[in-house]
């Protein structure tokens, strides 16, 4: 029997301190997202990216794992503004 890993169950152990009104990642205003930006809806391991009804991409960084995937994937497009959260905010890894 192969062991299975449920990512959602693992993420449940993390805690996140929201810096209200000061998101550490933002998506620049756009009419049509690049393929890279659109791909983040599927690539972000925390599910922070979503597609709006207007077919643009939005981010709600609450729960961000600070993995940097979105920063690297959109490095050539400049559509994502990425910073680490301020001290005392962001992800708290509880169990590894
Ligand atoms: S840094 Fe990682 S977890 Fe955070 S929003 Fe980007 S892809 Fe998602």
Structural domains for the chain: 7-92 (3.30.70.20)
Q: Report which secondary-structure segment, H or E, holds 81.
A: strand 80-82
Separation of CA 1 and ligand 1 centre (Å)? 32
Cα–Cα distance, 24 to 4 (Å, whole number): 33
b/e for 27-45, b at 16 or more Cβ within 10 A? beeeeebeebbbbbbeebe
CA 4 to ligand 1 center in whole angstroms: 23
CA nearest neighbour of 48 among 29, 20, 33, 68: 68
In the reported structure, the alpha carbon of residue 2 is separated from the centroid of ligand 1 by a whole-number distance in angstroms of: 29
**Ligand 1 within 6 A of CB of 25:** yes
Q: Give 91's strand partners.
A: 16
Q: Is the minimum distance from the CB of 46 to ligand 1 under 6 angstroms?
A: yes
User: What pLDDT, in 10s, does the model give residues 17-31?
Assistant: 999 999 999 999 999
Q: Which pTM was predicted?
A: 0.88
pLDDT (tens place) for every residue of the chain, 96 residues total: 677 888 788 888 889 999 999 999 999 999 999 999 999 999 999 999 999 999 999 999 999 999 999 999 999 999 999 999 999 999 998 765
């Amino acid at each position: 029997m192969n062991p299975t890993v449920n990512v959602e169950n693992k993420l449940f152990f993390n805690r996140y301190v929201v810096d209200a009104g000061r998101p550490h990642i933002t998506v620049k205003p756009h009419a049509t997202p690049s393929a890279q930006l659109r791909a983040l809806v599927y690539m972000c391991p925390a599910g922070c990216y979503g597609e709006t009804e207007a077919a643009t991409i939005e981010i709600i960084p609450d729960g961000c794992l600070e993995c940097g995937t979105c920063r690297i994937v959109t490095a050539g497009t400049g559509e994502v503004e990425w910073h680490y959260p301020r001290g005392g905010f962001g992800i708290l890894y509880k169990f590894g």
